[in-house]
């Protein structure tokens, strides 16, 4: 025999639930007048998906006590990505809300497990917390100055976390004293065979770009478009320059040797994407 809990009885007596009848055994049939609010149930039941052990504690191993609110479990993100890119070893994963950098970290682990060459592009702002912002203002600092920016999420969490994870070293140069716990178990101090580049997104004057006066600002975009592989062409050259996977023609009069150089470097089948002019 089952009895109504005191909470359900209270719901009926208070009018939140209304008795609409009884079944054959005489048990009360009641319906809530309005939908009853319920706490959502977690679907991340695996120990590896626990945000404290796989997120907060793991981040402490990398950064020390530097706080970050609610970091996701590295292994939960890894499992989510694996579902979509397990059979795509050349996949590009983009995360526009990078937070502490968990996505890039997870992609590196996936590559290590199967020899993949997946790329990740993560984007974040450099906000400081409301409490930090208040304290900085009281100290005479403003957004954009060195002290303020050093406390931003990108400079104090995202970049240091990725550097520590990929090199296996903490900020003070000491090896990370912890191990990865699931799927691929190895010391964090081993790091990853990944290359990392950090770029700052800025606003550029379109007139300067159209007049070819801002090549150094545009250069990283050309390198990313070419696949983010090999040497990056950062400076103007006489006539043209050819890197591992792309080239930049600076002077139209050098077009013929430029094309010959591209064919020599990349083979006879040349994509139009490789013939980039500034």
Please check the confidence at residue 205 and state whether its pLDDT lies above 80. Answer: yes
Please check the confidence at residue 91 and state whether its pLDDT lies above 80. Answer: yes
Please check the confidence at residue 278 and state whether its pLDDT lies above 70. Answer: no
- pLDDT tens-digit profile of 47-82? 889 888 899 999 999 998 877 888 899 999 999 999
Average pLDDT over residues 222-235: 88
The DSSP string of the chain is: -----HHHHHHHHHTSEEEEEE-TT--EEEEESSPPP-PPPPS--SGGG-HIIIIIHHHHHHHTT---SSPPPHHHHHHHHHHHHTT-TT-EEEES--TTTHHHHHHHHHHHHHT---EEEE-------HHHHHHHHHTT--TTSHHHHHTSHIIIIIHHHHHHHHHSB-TTSPBP--B--SSS--BGGG--S------------HHHHHTT--HHHHHHHHHHHTTS-S----S--SSEEE-SS-EEE--GGGHHHHHHHHHHHH-S---GGGEEE-
Lowest mean pLDDT across 27-41, 95-109, 112-126, 142-156: 27-41
């Amino acid at each position: 025999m089952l009895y109504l809990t005191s909470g359900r009885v209270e719901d009926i007596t208070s009018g939140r639930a209304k008795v609409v009848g009884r079944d054959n055994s005489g048990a009360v049939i009641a319906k809530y007048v309005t939908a009853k609010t319920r706490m959502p149930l977690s679907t991340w039941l695996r120990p590896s998906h626990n945000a404290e052990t796989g997120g907060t504690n793991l981040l402490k191993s990398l950064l020390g006590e530097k706080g970050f609110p609610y970091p996701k479990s590295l292994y939960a993100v890894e499992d989510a990505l694996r579902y979509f890119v397990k059979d795509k070893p050349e996949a590009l994963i983009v995360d526009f809300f990078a937070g502490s950098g968990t996505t890039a970290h997870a992609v590196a682990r996936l590559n290590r497990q199967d020899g993949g060459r997946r790329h990740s592009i993560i984007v974040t702002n450099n906000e400081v917390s409301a409490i930090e912002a208040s304290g900085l203002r009281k100290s005479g600092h403003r957004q954009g100055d060195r002290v303020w920016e050093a406390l931003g999420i990108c400079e104090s969490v995202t970049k240091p976390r990725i550097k520590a994870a990929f090199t296996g070293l903490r900020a003070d140069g000491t090896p990370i004293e912890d191990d990865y716990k699931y799927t691929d178990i190895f010391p964090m101090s081993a790091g990853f065979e990944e290359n990392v580049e950090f770029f700052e997104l800025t606003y550029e004057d379109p007139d300067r770009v159209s007049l070819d006066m801002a090549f150094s600002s545009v250069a990283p975009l050309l390198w990313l478009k070419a696949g983010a592989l090999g040497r990056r062409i950062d400076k103007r050259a006489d006539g043209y320059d050819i890197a591992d996977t792309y080239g930049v023609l600076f002077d139209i009069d050098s077009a013929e040797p430029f094309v010959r150089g591209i064919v020599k470097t990349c083979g006879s089948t040349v994509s139009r994407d490789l013939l980039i002019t500034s």
